[in-house]
Chain A
Amino acid sequence: MTAPFDIAHAGSANKGSDAPATPRNVPNRGGAPNPSAADLKAKFGTAIRRVDVVWGETNVYVAPEAALDIIRWLHDDASQQYDYLVDVTAVEYRDLEQPIEVVWHLRSLPYRRFLRVKAQLTKNRPLEIPSVWSIYKSADWLERECFDMFGITFVGHPDLRRILMWEQYREGFPLRKDFPLRGRFSRAEQLRQALAANPEARYSMEELTIADAFEDLPTDMRQRLRGGERTGE
């Protein structure tokens, strides 16, 4: 039997001089920016607010409303091909005056490039940003997590629910700086809520529409669900 798969030598040092190497002595500021940054500036003009290079990685600050178009162009354009969304997350600074940043880490597998796209959201307005789910399916859970932890609404996400915290969680958004480390509620209140929760009610509305599951619920829960409650509490 022949080997049922290829052993690839991708990027191996044996394969010529274009192989990537471990970065050394990376400067704090400056250095060669990712070539995509200049392309973005030429293409989108003022929607690209700022470009800087920190520790060898290029940060591109974009206007929040243009973020979707910019990322779609980065994904679709043949000269960019950022086909891999590594991460979607947000940063809130300790200085509460500073805006919250939504951060996309993008990789171009064909060109072996890494780009960090950032959009700043001021806090005096609702935290909303377009979802990139329509471009990358990997954004599904990453955006849900970001919503869960920071309360940023990703407009256009098909199923923006909490993911790590449970749906009945009422204490707010844990990774925000105004959220205390021990939680907003007292231990006694947290315990009371945990004990009062109905473990049978841990199904989302979407699941309850499946088949006869709805009919199997206790009567009181069915009534409350008909009344518009998302899940039992």
Chain B
Amino acid sequence: MATQKRTVDVALSTTGVDAQGRPQRVPLVTADDGSPVAVEAPPMVEPDLAGEHMLINIGPQHPATHGVLRLVLELDGETVVRCIPHVGYLHCGFEKLGEYRQYNQILPLTDREDYLNSMGNNVGHVMTAERLFGIEITERCKVLRVIACELSRIASHLVWLGTTCIDIGAFTPFLWAFQQREYIYDLIELWVGARLTPTITRVGGLAADIPDGWMDNLRNFIAKFPNTVEEIDRMLTKNGIWVGRTVGLGILTPEEAVNYGLSGPMLRASGVAYDVRKDFPYYDYETYDFDVPVGTNGDVYDRYLVRMEELRQSVRIVEQAIKRLPDGPINVDDPRVILPNKSKATSEMESMIHHFKLVMEGPRPPLGEAYVAMESPKGEKGYYMVSDGTSKPVRWRIRPPSFVNLSAIPKMVEGHLLSDVIAINASIDIVMGEIDR
């Protein structure tokens, strides 16, 4: 049966005009027989909201706060007048736990604080521990650790890129970024068996050498990965919506950025060329040829540009590391920290005692203290350890870059719109696991 075209008359009960002169409309109410019933329009009185501030709570369970951050905002209309951040919802007491663990046993804790950069944290922790033991690691180990750090940086920046895109309203780059991140995790899985929390280092060396053929996989990844960076770059860098949502937001001058103790891409976007890899180098970073991108405006857009460039520079570093990777042992030849091999431990008395003592008591560094910083994707990440000569540190302190970076958020968001708070918060690249520890 052909459907008949028909017109439905909708009776709108219009009872007058409101304060702005627009016709007031009320919903059509019909009686049982279908005839329209006129209803009284509710009185339309615009409340006077001038000068009245509103309290808005974002988080701790909010997808755009990147974890369990809670922001209490005072709003005047849509403008933020004051921002009071609350952290600590993920506090696990890692620093306390570290005082009850041997230096190698602390490593799993470092995986779990900044869980996007777990390999970098492993490296940072053992770097400080090795300073405390006075150990110089082998050349091969150094290069492998540099590769681990840079892969970790790429993975962390990709998560930042993806989640920031989601926050600002772009979905596709998120998928591209997370796909590439999967390849990195596949590489780590091939290397040590774990993905997110690999615990890749040991004091004096590494958990495992890279397996056969791993370098080919890495070369494959490094060859293809820049395409994704360029794709995302084409998609976002000159995109009107992206630019409109990021330019001119959360500006910090170089002086402010230094005074607030910012580090990493946050600091460099403000125009301060401070990179731990260049200024206080470790693992021969001074011999790698790479550039440090430095922004000029210190806004969200510059932070995006800096991180994009860091992705490219990390690829350069990995390429150079692949070329220079020497053969040789991955662990130092130092019986204070490295276990004797299994056949010796089961056949020789001395090795067996040594094995037993190392496992049961743990390695003991001499009296002393050390702070060694590294450039994590979030900024300057330092580990500060104080040893009293026992196998467990007296104080195990993490210098958390996102914690210090986040402390500048009230300064950055005040005066901006509520929707910009999300973009500014995303640009800090926070990981609550590291902030709360």
Q: Which residues of chain A have a CB within 8 Å of any CB of chain B?
A: 1, 4-14, 19-22, 24-29, 54-57, 59, 83-87, 89, 91-95, 103, 105, 109, 112, 114, 116, 136-138, 140-142, 145, 149, 162-166, 174-175, 179, 181, 202-204, 206-207, 210-213
Contacts of A54 in B (CB 8 A): 368-370
- Given A109-B274, A164-B88, answer yes or no on A86-B382 (Cβ-Cβ < 8 Å): yes
Is B52 in contact with A212, judged by CB distance below 8 angstroms? Answer: yes
Is A149 in contact with B95, judged by CB distance below 8 angstroms? Answer: yes
The CA-CA distance from A109 to B274 in the complex, in Å, is: 7
Interface-facing stretch out of B17-25, B220-228, B349-357, B392-400: B392-400
Is B53 in contact with A138, judged by CB distance below 8 angstroms? Answer: no
The CA-CA distance from A210 to B382 in the complex, in Å, is: 38
B238 to chain A, nearest CB (A): 7
The CA-CA distance from A49 to B302 in the complex, in Å, is: 45
- Given A10-B278, A164-B88, A166-B88, answer yes or no on A20-B286 (Cβ-Cβ < 8 Å): yes
Is B366 in contact with A28, judged by CB distance below 8 angstroms? Answer: yes
Residues of chain B at interface, number, CB under 8 A: 79
Is B52 in contact with A138, judged by CB distance below 8 angstroms? Answer: no
The CA-CA distance from A206 to B390 in the complex, in Å, is: 45
The CA-CA distance from A94 to B392 in the complex, in Å, is: 11
Our pick among A9, A137, A165, A206 for the contact of B84 (Cβ within 8 Å) is: A206
Contacts of A26 in B (CB 8 A): 131, 134
- Given A10-B275, A20-B286, answer yes or no on A138-B55 (Cβ-Cβ < 8 Å): no
Check if B412 is an interface residue, CB within 8 A of chain A: no
- Given A5-B296, A25-B136, A54-B368, answer yes or no on A87-B382 (Cβ-Cβ < 8 Å): yes
Is A4 in contact with B279, judged by CB distance below 8 angstroms? Answer: no
Contacts of B74 in A (CB 8 A): 207, 210-211
The CA-CA distance from A138 to B269 in the complex, in Å, is: 18
Contacts of B305 in A (CB 8 A): 4-5
Is B53 in contact with A211, judged by CB distance below 8 angstroms? Answer: yes
- Given A86-B373, A92-B395, A105-B382, answer yes or no on A164-B436 (Cβ-Cβ < 8 Å): yes
Our pick among A11, A95, A166 for the contact of B278 (Cβ within 8 Å) is: A11
The CA-CA distance from A207 to B54 in the complex, in Å, is: 11
Is A20 in contact with B279, judged by CB distance below 8 angstroms? Answer: yes
Our pick among B131, B260, B281, B390 for the contact of A138 (Cβ within 8 Å) is: B260
Is A55 in contact with B309, judged by CB distance below 8 angstroms? Answer: no
Nearest B residue to A135 via CB reads: B259
Is A138 in contact with B275, judged by CB distance below 8 angstroms? Answer: no
The CA-CA distance from A158 to B304 in the complex, in Å, is: 33
- Given A7-B292, A203-B72, answer yes or no on A55-B370 (Cβ-Cβ < 8 Å): yes
Our pick among B131, B261, B286, B366 for the contact of A21 (Cβ within 8 Å) is: B286
Contacts of B293 in A (CB 8 A): 5-8
Nearest A residue to B238 via CB reads: A1
Is B291 in contact with A8, judged by CB distance below 8 angstroms? Answer: yes
Nearest A residue to B255 via CB reads: A83
A41 to chain B, nearest CB (A): 21
